[in-house]
Amino acid sequence: AQKVTQAQTEISVVEKEDVTLDCVYETRDTTYYLFWYKQPPSGELVFLIRRNSFDEQNEISGRYSWNFQKSTSSFNFTITASQVVDSAVYFCALSEAYKAAGNKLTFGGGTRVLVKP
Amino acid sequence: DSGVTQTPKHLITATGQRVTLRCSPRSGDLSVYWYQQSLDQGLQFLIQYYNGEERAKGNILERFSAQQFPDLHSELNLSSLELGDSALYFCASSVMDRGGYEQYFGPGTRLTVT
């Protein structure tokens, strides 16, 4: 069965520091998809990125970057020069490609990031 | 704003009661999902519908049921409510039904069972 582990429950940083969120996943499927979502204090879940298992290219979007390493089953997320608005809970999630799975997301436990001014 | 709407935003009810949560997907999305977020269980997948048909099922309790209507909106029915059902219930939608399509989440319905 699939599993996503986010070992860090809470990270506290001072504004402008970089912060890296770890995500480790388990799946028996050879084709799968990884996601990151942000849940700000207002409560909604905001989609940040999707990565396919066959595409190991890292991605950068503004201050956000993602490092996908299939060899270690990890999909880590770095916020560069953090800002107070980055304070939120961040979730890593996995979906599998086999038909019976539909498109269900398996979420990690989340990492709460607190950015202090 | 994700384009997914959920009503009501908050719901307070008593144990043993039944409630219905409603969700309208983003325009053009055919698949709808329901998730439960609680402190002890985290974010858990409940059920997925695609174009009116049940597509995938998670650890949804027998007291819970859902359906997707011809206009693609979905309802989640929770009955014989228990204190442990208190949670934030999210609806999400995506264009297609299979793995890899990003899901866009609604604002959630916060259910409090007293």
Per-residue model confidence as pLDDT tens digits over B58-94? 989 999 999 999 999 999 999 999 999 999 999 999 9
Q: How far apart are CA A62 and CA A48, in angstroms?
A: 12
Query: Does B43 reach chain A within 8 Å, measured CB to CB?
Result: yes
Both tokens of A24, joined, read: 């480790």
At B1, the pLDDT band (50, 70, 90 cuts) reads: confident
- Give percent of chain B above pLDDT 70: 100
Nearest CB among A33, A99, A109 relative to B100 is that of A33
Put simply, the answer to whether A44 touches B56 (Cβ < 8 Å) is no
* Shortest CA distance from B96: residue in chain A: A103
CB B38 within 8 A of CB B88: yes
Nearest CB among A104, A106, A109 relative to B48 is that of A104
| DSSP 8-state class, residue A72 | G
Compute how many other C-beta atoms are within 10 angstroms of the C-beta atom of residue A87.
17
What does the pLDDT read at residue A65?
Answer: 94
Angle at B75 between CA B57 and CA B34, to 5 degrees: 40
Residues of A with CB below 8 A from B103's CB?
Answer: 47, 103, 105
What does the pLDDT read at residue A98?
Answer: 75
What does the pLDDT read at residue B5?
Answer: 97
What does the pLDDT read at residue A58?
Answer: 86
Closest CA to B16 of B79, B106, B102: B79
Residue segments in chain A with a per-residue pLDDT below the cut of 70: none
Q: How far apart are the first and last CA of chain A?
A: 41
